[in-house]
Copies of this chain bind each other. A is one copy, B any other.
């Protein structure tokens, strides 16, 4: 019962502080990397664990992510990872968090341009809608940059309750809610609109990533899509439209749909 009194994992939970003291100094060099080596490239850290995991998943897919494999990728035994993520599930949640951190980065770096189109003529806020679009586009970009991680967005969203999500995740949701409030929506309407927005964002990303390609190396389009194996006369519409479905909707499809989805909830005209 007197377990875990000392030797507690440092940042296994959602603790923000990094467990390495001098973050980037290539330390452990003093001894000339003699024994045990402490990982291939200096000490471990939650950040290093997560970013390496993200690279691995991007490169080889979700199923390639195992504790041992990630460990070896970091030059470390599997069990060493348990200091930085409480378990595999926590690691996956960490990947989701990493995506949201990247989203935040993307949003921040794109923030210093055309600071404010200083309110046209009416009493309408001009800012909130374009801000929402900006968020949507950035979300789309992040998702397309890490398609292998996208399933986790759905999976973990159904697994970890809102209140337990990483701050990076919550803050993205808070951003959207703030914009909806700026649009003048009262609390109940904002809740409905928020659900619509998040449903659309997620659904659109999934729809756009939908696996269409059956045989990637085939030069002929129809064969690439595997059309020949679709029962020809049973699904004529589907067969006819598959090539068009294989194109991506892109970010503008996202923002257009976003306006449409928002339309029932906001007072003003949708676009102009």
Enumerate chain A interface residues (CB-CB to B < 8 A): 147, 150-151, 154-155, 157-164, 167, 170-171, 173-174, 177-178, 181, 187-188, 190-192, 194-196, 198-204, 206-214, 225-227, 229-231, 234-238, 240-242, 244-245, 247, 249, 253, 256-257, 260-261, 263-264
- From B164, B171, B206, B260, A264 is in contact (CB under 8 Å) with B260
Chain B residue nearest in CB terms to A173 = B238
Contact B261 A257 (CB under 8 A): yes
Asked whether, in the complex, the Cβ of B155 is within 8 Å of the Cβ of A225, the reply is no
- Per assembly, the copies of the chain total 2
Known A203-B206, A238-B170, A245-B195; judge A151-B158 contact (CB<8 A). yes
Contact A192 to B249, CB < 8 A, known contacts A199-B204, A260-B263: yes
Report the separation of the CA atoms of residues A80 and B209 in the bound assembly, to the nearest whole angstrom: 35
Chain B, residue nearest A249 (CB): B195
- The contact sample of 20 A-B pairs, CB cut-off 8 A, is A154-B154, A155-B155, A158-B210, A161-B212, A162-B210, A162-B225, A164-B214, A164-B229, A170-B238, A174-B235, A174-B236, A174-B237, A177-B237, A187-B241, A188-B244, A195-B208, A199-B207, A200-B200, A260-B261, A263-B263
